Structure 1
Amino acid sequence: MNPIIFLCVLSMLPQLGAPSEAPFRAVVEMVSGDSRIFSGESVRLKCSVPDVRSSWSHLWFRGSEQLPQRGQHLILWKMKVQESGKYYCKGVRDSQVGDLMTLQSLPLEINVDGGWVILQVPPEPSLVSDTLKVMCRARGTPPLHEVILYKDAVEVMRQNGLNPYFYLTNLTHEEQGVYSCRASWDIDRRTHSVISADASVQILDVLSLPVLEIVADSDLIPANKMKLICHLQYNARAPAPPINYYFYKNDIRLGIATSENHDLVRRTPGQYSCKAKVPVLGISRWSELKSFEQAKGT
C-alpha cells in the first residue's frame, strides 16, 4: 500500500483507546436529600440516558474529578463540607469502535454546610409569577420559636418558628437577590440565634425578549431570499406548551404562525421584527425593530 494512503487511512480511524461520543446528554437528578444540607447528612443522585434501546453504564464526576463510584445511583453518605461542588454523570457502553460515551450531564450543585442554620432554596431558577417556597432549617431540628427571612441583608418577614417555611408569591424580578435566614431556639435555658449562609435566588421570564437576526449571505441563501431567525429563551416548566413565532415587515405579518423560530422571506428593504407567543399561557413578547437595506446590485 502506498505509504501516503496508509497514513490517511490511519488518520481517519478513531484514536486507540479514545472513547467516541454519542448524540445523547446524560441527565442527573436528586432522588433524596437537598441541594443544601448539613455536614453529616446524605444525598442520593440518579443518572439517566435518554436512550431506551441500549444498556448503559454510568460514570460520576465532581468538577473535573472522576469519582470511583459507578452505577446509575450515586449515594453520598454523611457528606463533608469539602465534598461540596458540582456533580455530573456520563453514560458509557461498549461499541464496535470501543467505548461510546454520552455528553456530560448538566451540573447539579450540592452545598454542604458545617454550621447550625441553612436556608433551603430550590436549586433551579424560579419563574415570574411563580410562588417561591424556602425553608429555614436548624441542625438537629430543635423547637424553633422564631424565624426571620432576609433579602440582601434587609428583613423581609418574620414568623413563629412552628412554621419554618416562607412563601414569596407572584414573583417578579424585584424578588431576585441574595437571601439568608435567622433561626432562634432555646436549649438549657439559653437562647440560640443563628443566621444562615447566603443563598442566591434567580427569577427568569417564561419568555425572554426575542432578538431578530437577518441572514442575507448569498453563499448560503438564494440571492432573492433572506432568513429571519427569532432568538429567545423559553423557560416554561416541562411539559412546556407549544410556542408560535410570527414575523413582520413594516408591522405587516409575513405569512402564518410557525412552530419554527425561522422563516425564509423575499429580500426587500424594510423594518423587520418577530413575535413569540405561547397561547396556552397567554404570553407574548416582541423583538425590537431591525432595519434591512438591500445592497446595490442585488
Structure 2
Amino acid sequence: MHCLLGSIAILSLFSYVKSQDPTPLPVRARADVTSGEARLFSGEDVTLSCSVPDHPETEWKFLWFRNGVPLSVQTQNLSLKNIPVQKGGNYSCRGEKDIDIWPYSLMTMTSEPLAVHVDGGWTLLQIPTEPLLIEEKMTLTCRIRGDPLLVEVIFYKDSVEVQKRKDKDLVIPRLVLKDEGLYRCRATWVQSTEHHSAQSLSAYLPVLDKLNTPVLELDFDYCSLKGDKVVLSCKTQLNVREEGLSIEYFFLKNGKRQGPGSSSATFTIFNVEDDDGGDYSCKARVRALNLERHSESVKLEVCNFPED
C-alpha cells in the first residue's frame, strides 16, 4: 500500500512539474543574415545571427551547424570574415537553455537552413534571401568583383534574355507566378582601359502564391466499403507577411457544398453509403484578403462485394 501511494505521489509530482514547463515546444530557431549578403564574393564578410522568435530570452545558448555538421562557435552571431569559397554551404542553428525544473534544459528545433553562396569568379547575381510573394517588388543585382566601371549587363531567365541595360539592377515592380525561374547575368566592364566580360552562375528565384492551390486527399487507396469511415483532407498553405489570418475550408460533392465552411481542413463521412459516392473537391478561402482557391476533384467510390 505504501509503495502504491509513493508511486501515485511521484506520478503526481511528475505531472505537476511537466505542467510548469515555461516554454511550449516545439519552437524553431531562426537563422538570418544581419551584415553582408548571403550571396557574396570570396574574400568578403558576412554575419549570421540565430534567434528564437517566440521566446527571445537572453539566456539562450546557441549552436551552429554547416551542412549539418556542428561548428565550434556557440555565440548568437556567427561572423564569417574574408570568407573562402570552401566555407559556402547551408548554415543552421539551434537554441538551448537551462531551467530550474524538469526537464532542466530546453532545446529548440534546428532552424531552416540558410544558404550562403561564396563565389570565386568575377560576376555574381544577388537575389533575395527569402522567397518572394506575388505582387511584391523584386530586385536582382549583377555584381562585379571590385566594382569597376560598368559598360553593360544582360539578364537571363531560363536561358532567355530578359533585359539589356547599363545598370546593375533588374527591377520587377509587381511579381507574378511566371516570374519564378532560373536567373543569371552577363556583365561587361572596363578596367585598366581594357574591356572584360564574365557571366554569373545561375540562381533559382522562387515566387509563391499567397494561398497555394489546395489538394484534396482521401484516406484510402482504391474504394471504400459500405459502413466505413472516410476522411477527406484539404491540404494547402498560406504564404503572407501579415499575422493572424486564417483559412476557411469548404467541401463539395459533385459541385454542391457539403455543409458550412469551417476552420477544419478535414471532412468526415462516418458511415459510407452508396449515395456518398461521387466527385469531391475542396475550396480554401481567406476572407480578410478576398482570396480563394479550388482543388481538383477526387472520385469517391463505394465498393459492394458480393455476399457468400
Q: Measure, in 1, the Cα distance between the counterparts of 2:283 and 2:57.
A: 39
1:168 corresponds in structure 2 to 172
CA gap of 1:130–1:52, structure 2 versus 1, over 3 A, is closer
Deviation at 1:34, TM superposition (A): 1.3
Question: Which structure shows the bigger proportion of residues in helix conformation?
Answer: 2
| Residues 282, 86 of structure 1: alpha-carbon distance in 2 compared, 3 angstrom cutoff | same
Paired residue for 2:223?
Answer: none
User: Does 2:237 match 1:229?
Assistant: no
Residue correspondence of structure 1 range 241-260 to structure 2 within 5 A: 241-260=245-264
CA RMSD of superposed structures (Å) = 2.7
User: Paired residue for 2:75, among 71, 77, 83?
Assistant: 71
Partner AA of 1:237 in structure 2? R
Deviation at 1:169, TM superposition (A): 4.2
Q: 1:250 to 1:154 in 2, by over 3 A?
A: closer
- Asked if 1:277 is matched to 2:280, the reply is no
Q: 1:136-147 maps to which residues of 2 (within 5 A)? A: 136-147=142-153
Could you say which residue in structure 1 is the equivalent of 2:161? 155
| Counterpart Cα distance in 2 of 1:291 and 1:207 | 24
The residue number in structure 2 matching 1:80 is 84
Q: Distance in 2 between matches of 1:106 and 1:167?
A: 28
Deviations 1:167-212 (A, max 9, x none): 1344344333221112222222111222212111223332222111
Amino acid at match of 2:124: I
The amino acid of 1:289's aligned partner reads: S
- Please report how far the alpha carbon of residue 67 of structure 1 lies from its aligned counterpart in structure 2 after TM superposition: 1.0
Provide the residue aligned with 2:49 in structure 1. 46
Tell me the secondary structure at the aligned position of residue 23 of structure 1: coil
Residues 1-298 of structure 1 correspond to what in structure 2 (within 5 A)?
Answer: 22-49=25-52, 50-52=54-56, 55-95=59-99, 96-97=102-103, 99-160=105-166, 163-215=167-219, 226-239=230-243, 241-265=245-269, 267=272, 268-296=276-304
Structure 1 portions without partners, runs of 5+: 1-20, 217-222
Q: Distance in 2 between matches of 1:52 and 1:30?
A: 17
Q: Which has the higher strand share?
A: 1
What is the aligned-residue identity percentage? 40
Distance (whole Å) between structure 1 residues aligned to residue 195 and residue 299 of structure 2: 66
Secondary structure at the aligned position of 1:24 is classed as coil
Tell me the distance in 1 between the aligned counterparts of 2:259 and 2:137. Answer: 38
- 3-state SS of paired residue (2:73): strand
Give the superposition deviation at 1:91. 0.8
> What are the Cα deviations for residues 208-241 of structure 1, in whole angstroms up to 9, with x where unaligned?
221112348xxxxxx6864332012332234373
Could you tell me whether the CA contact under 8 Å between 2:94 and 2:107 is conserved in 1? yes
**1:157 Cα shift?**
0.6
Gaps of 5+ in 2: 1-23, 221-226
SS in 2 for 1:206: coil
Cα separation, 1, equivalents of 2:57 and 2:183: 44
3-state SS of paired residue (2:86): helix
- How far off its partner does 1:152 sit? 2.9
Contact 2:68 2:92 (C-alpha < 8 Å) held by counterparts? no
**Contact 2:246/2:286 (CA < 8 Å) preserved in 1?**
yes
The two structures have a TM-score, normalised by structure 2, of 0.78
Higher mean displacement: 251-260 or 78-87: 251-260
Distance in 1 separating the partners of 2:125 and 2:180: 15
Any conservation in 1 of the 2:214–2:282 contact (CA below 8 Å)?
A: yes
1:52 Cα shift?
Answer: 4.6
C-alpha displacement of 1:90: 0.5
Q: Is the 8 A contact 2:32 2:114 kept in 1?
A: yes
In structure 2, relative to structure 1, the CA distance for the partners of 1:35 and 1:253 (3 Å cut) is same
CA contact (8 A) 2:35 2:47 kept: yes
- State TM-score, norm by structure 1: 0.80
Cα separation, 1, equivalents of 2:47 and 2:57 = 26
